[in-house]
Amino acid sequence: MLEQVIAVQRAAVRRASLQEVFDAVTAGAHVLLGDEVVGLRLLDRADPGMLQVVSVHGLPEGVAWRLWRAPANGSGASGQAVMRDEVVVLDHYAESRAGIRELAENGVCTAMAAPVRGGGEVIGSLVVASRRPGRAYTAADRGLLAAFAEHVGVAITDAQAVDGLEQGFRDPLTGLASRALFNDRLAHALACAERDQMRTSVLTVDLDRFQSVNDSLGHAVGDLLLAAVGERLASCVRTTDTVARLGADEFAMLLHDVELRDRAVAVAGRVLQALREPFPINGRDIFINASIGVAFGVVGHQDAETLLQYADLALHTAKKNGKGRYEVFEPVMHAALKKGTDLASDLRVAVDRDEFILLYQPIVDLRSGLVSGFEALVRWMHPQLGMVPPLDFIPLAEETGLIVPIGTWVLREACRQAAEWNRRRPANEPLSISVNLSARQLQQPDLPQLVAEVLASTGLAGSCLTLELTESLLINDIDITVARLKTLKALNVRLAIDDFGTGYSSLAYLRQFPIDILKIDKLFVDAVATEAPEASLTGAIVHLARTLHLSTVAEGIESFDQCGPLRDSGCQLGQGYYFAKPLTGTDAEVLLFTSTPATTPGAA
């Protein structure tokens, strides 16, 4: 045995790679006991309940890869040795309940394993197995393997080896696998998939609005949230799959043996649902969403880096398409990424070059048919591409933080234009102007000061400005948000919830926030002239608003038939293509100062 021990120690002392040390162990055990099959399995540092094969001798590659990683309680003699911390022998292997089917099918007749100890604890096991019928392990064999395993443990726990073994294996905050370990497992999984013709899937997960938690509640709360997210992600997959934190609020999931596309998609759906549930942290509920990209390995055509890049492309598409959703990678996303990258570069200079314009969509009194105000909508006039659709650049602006200077310009220009129009109108018929606030804008501590300065410099009365927020913006950092909104209300501005009915729609939230207006989402407006269930919900929303002394605006009115039911339900205002598409400033002036009232059923 001495020669084999020396070989292992020499590999460790000369700072060989860990793999060389592991291979020296299995080679030594093979020579020592003369058995055909030898394996060294170590407990997974990131997931201690799992055993991972780090070196094997005498098994076909396909079999070895299938046994690469498994729970300790399902790992045959090697798992038994780890759990019992003693030498274990499995005679009559094929009949043994603890045996591994793949090994029995490969002709293994008997197996013996000894625990490998390091640093005072079991860190793995060394197993030998024979295909020779009648092979029986004697007490001397047991002692020999146990002694060799003891020396193996000393070698593996050499300080240099331990440092290398633990380096980057576990994310210290969440306890999940790190990026380095994830990449290693992904490479192994792809190699295994190529040999066994199995599919592998990668999901990348990015938290939406996580930065707002850090900014408003502090990094300590953000860290607690990340740890809780890690637990929920792990609960959505099998123990044989891998969940990793790649950095910041980015996570990844590796699904092994994905025979059907539907399984990966189902996991993505479970993750979205799990993360939508509130996170109780430090006595408050925190709500977040996530965007997910899904990519499938193609046997023989992808490496780990490429597959992860494909998942990231799908993730980028999910964010662009509205966040809080998943997308599956498609080849066309390459072109979309190129376009998005170019747009992001152009967007950075668009603010300085004054390439934005405002369009104005009329908000109409459903009883009189008169225009009571406008919603200001920003558009980007690209010098080469022409008008860029909002869905193409608003998400980019959010991601890059450029939404803050763009939003400031929109607020200032909209207030300037509204003040100019009001100076030309009777004092008792002022127009209101509605401006959308983004999540990043609402997070700015100086937002109330900015609004006050804009109102003062443009001369617009606070009562003529409506700031629109989505429901999802209100549910995070409730105390801070309420305080900020109350400061805005002190300026006499009005606050509206946009797309009401599609988010959380909680009565408790409505009572808590100083809201003036509910804007009913187009989904419900579309149903008012039909027998669809949403039709009754529209009336319920209006009734709720009236009970809370709130005004209502119906969004997306497209037909004459929708106006009557909305007005009869008590909805005061409406906007949509039936009245007018978003107008340039010049066309809005024509509508204001030369046109007759819009036609609504029963309008006075």
Q: List the structure tokens of 358.
A: 């405002």
Clarify whether residues 319 and 234 are in a common domain.
Answer: yes
Clarify whether residues 195 and 318 are in a common domain.
Answer: yes
By three-state DSSP, how is residue 538 classified? helix
Q: Is residue 383 part of a domain?
A: no
Residue 564, pLDDT > 80, answer: yes
Residue 13, pLDDT > 60, answer: no
CB 480, CB 488: distance < 8 Å: no
Name the nearest CA neighbour of 144 among 35, 271, 32. 32
Q: Is residue 380 part of a domain?
A: no
Q: Distance (Å, rounded) from C-alpha 391 to C-alpha 410?
A: 17
Predicted local confidence at residue 301, as pLDDT: 53
Residues 6 or more apart from 571 whose CB is under 8 A from it?
366, 520, 538, 542, 552, 553, 554
Residue 127, pLDDT > 90, answer: yes
Q: Distance (Å, rounded) from C-alpha 497 to C-alpha 537?
A: 17
The DSSP bridge pattern shows strands 279-281 and 371-382 to be unpaired
Clarify whether residues 281 and 420 are in a common domain.
Answer: no
Predicted local confidence at residue 253, as pLDDT: 96
Average pLDDT of the residues in 110-114: 95
- Total number of domains constituting the chain: 3
Amino acid at 562: Q
Vertex 370: Cα angle to 365 and 372 (nearest 5)? 65
Residue span of the structural domain in which 491 resides? 361-374+403-594
What's the CATH code of the domain at 367? Answer: 3.20.20.450
Distances, alpha carbon 476 to alpha carbons 213, 473, 526, in Å: 7, 7, 30
pLDDT digits (tens, 9 = 90+) for 317-347: 888 787 889 999 887 675 555 555 677 788 8
Any idea of the CA torsion for 328, 331, 336, 341, to the nearest 10 degrees? Answer: 100
Residue 92: left (phi > 0), alpha (psi -120 to 50), or beta? left
CB 602, CB 567: distance < 8 Å: yes
Q: Is residue 439 part of a domain?
A: yes
Clarify whether residues 152 and 204 are in a common domain.
Answer: no
Exposed (0-12), middle (13-18) or buried (19+): which is 121, by Cβ within 10 Å?
Answer: exposed
Among the ranges given (159-163, 289-293, 441-445), the one the predictor scored with the smallest mean pLDDT? 159-163
Q: Is residue 291 part of a domain?
A: yes
Average pLDDT of the residues in 287-297: 90
Q: Among 166, 191, 211, which residue terminates a domain?
A: 166
Predicted local confidence at residue 431, as pLDDT: 95
Clarify whether residues 241 and 143 are in a common domain.
Answer: no
Residue 531 confidence class, pLDDT cut points 50, 70, 90: low
Predicted local confidence at residue 339, as pLDDT: 58
Q: List the structure tokens of 581.
A: 């598409």
Any idea of the CA torsion for 395, 455, 447, 584, to the nearest 10 degrees? Answer: 0
Residue 5 confidence class, pLDDT cut points 50, 70, 90: very low
Residue 598 confidence class, pLDDT cut points 50, 70, 90: low
Clarify whether residues 145 and 183 are in a common domain.
Answer: no
Q: List the structure tokens of 303.
A: 């490496």
CB 166, CB 45: distance < 8 Å: yes
Among the ranges given (20-29, 105-114, 117-126, 463-472), the one the predictor scored with the smallest mean pLDDT? 20-29
What is the CA 603 to chain-centroid distance, rounded?
48
Clarify whether residues 218 and 327 are in a common domain.
Answer: yes
End-to-end alpha-carbon separation of the chain, Å? Answer: 103
Residue 14 confidence class, pLDDT cut points 50, 70, 90: very low
**Sequential DSSP letters for 277-338:** S-EEETTEEE--EEEEEEEE--TTT--HHHHHHHHHHHHHHHHHTTSSSEEE--TTHHHHHH
Q: Distance (Å, rounded) from C-alpha 334 to C-alpha 361?
A: 35
Amino acid at 420: E
More confident residue, 91 or 530: 91
Phi, psi of 515, rounded to the nearest 5 degrees: -90, 145
More confident residue, 146 or 471: 146
More confident residue, 552 or 285: 552
The percent of residues above 90 in pLDDT, for the chain, comes to 39
What's the CATH code of the domain at 40? Answer: 3.30.450.40
Predicted local confidence at residue 443, as pLDDT: 84
Predicted local confidence at residue 344, as pLDDT: 77
Residues 6 or more apart from 317 whose CB is under 8 A from it?
293, 327, 333, 336
Q: Is residue 343 part of a domain?
A: no
Average pLDDT of the residues in 231-256: 91
Q: Distance (Å, rounded) from C-alpha 406 to C-alpha 394?
A: 10
Residue 506 confidence class, pLDDT cut points 50, 70, 90: low
Among the ranges given (34-43, 280-289, 312-321, 475-484), the one the predictor scored with the smallest mean pLDDT? 475-484
Residue 2 confidence class, pLDDT cut points 50, 70, 90: very low
Predicted local confidence at residue 15, as pLDDT: 46
Clarify whether residues 198 and 275 are in a common domain.
Answer: yes
Average pLDDT of the residues in 529-538: 68
Predicted local confidence at residue 159, as pLDDT: 40
Among the ranges given (13-22, 79-88, 495-504), the one the predictor scored with the smallest mean pLDDT? 13-22
Q: Distance (Å, rounded) from C-alpha 71 to C-alpha 195?
A: 22
What's the CATH code of the domain at 264? Answer: 3.30.70.270
Clarify whether residues 526 and 473 are in a common domain.
Answer: yes
Q: List the structure tokens of 149.
A: 């395993």
What value does the mean pLDDT of the chain take?
A: 84
Q: Distance (Å, rounded) from C-alpha 304 to C-alpha 191?
A: 10
CB 477, CB 217: distance < 8 Å: yes
Residue 375 confidence class, pLDDT cut points 50, 70, 90: very high
CB 360, CB 583: distance < 8 Å: yes
CB 434, CB 466: distance < 8 Å: yes
Count CB neighbours of 430 within 10 A.
17
CB 206, CB 226: distance < 8 Å: no
The percent of residues above 70 in pLDDT, for the chain, comes to 85
Winning range, highest mean pLDDT, from 82-96, 220-234, 455-469: 455-469
Residue owning tokens 């021990």? 5
Predicted local confidence at residue 505, as pLDDT: 47
Beta bridge partners of 184: none
Q: Is residue 420 part of a domain?
A: yes
By three-state DSSP, how is residue 48 classified? strand
Residue 227, pLDDT > 90, answer: yes
More confident residue, 241 or 415: 415
Clarify whether residues 489 and 417 are in a common domain.
Answer: yes
Clarify whether residues 237 and 140 are in a common domain.
Answer: no
Winning range, highest mean pLDDT, from 28-32, 66-70, 161-165, 193-197: 28-32
Q: Is residue 341 part of a domain?
A: no
Q: Distance (Å, rounded) from C-alpha 128 to C-alpha 37?
A: 6
Average pLDDT of the residues in 114-128: 91
pLDDT digits (tens, 9 = 90+) for 145-203: 998 888 888 777 764 455 555 555 778 889 898 888 898 888 888 877 666 556 788 99
pLDDT digits (tens, 9 = 90+) for 46-61: 677 888 888 899 988 7
Q: Is residue 586 part of a domain?
A: yes
The predicted model scores a pTM of: 0.52
How long, in residues, is the chain? 604
More confident residue, 12 or 262: 262
Clarify whether residues 203 and 323 are in a common domain.
Answer: yes
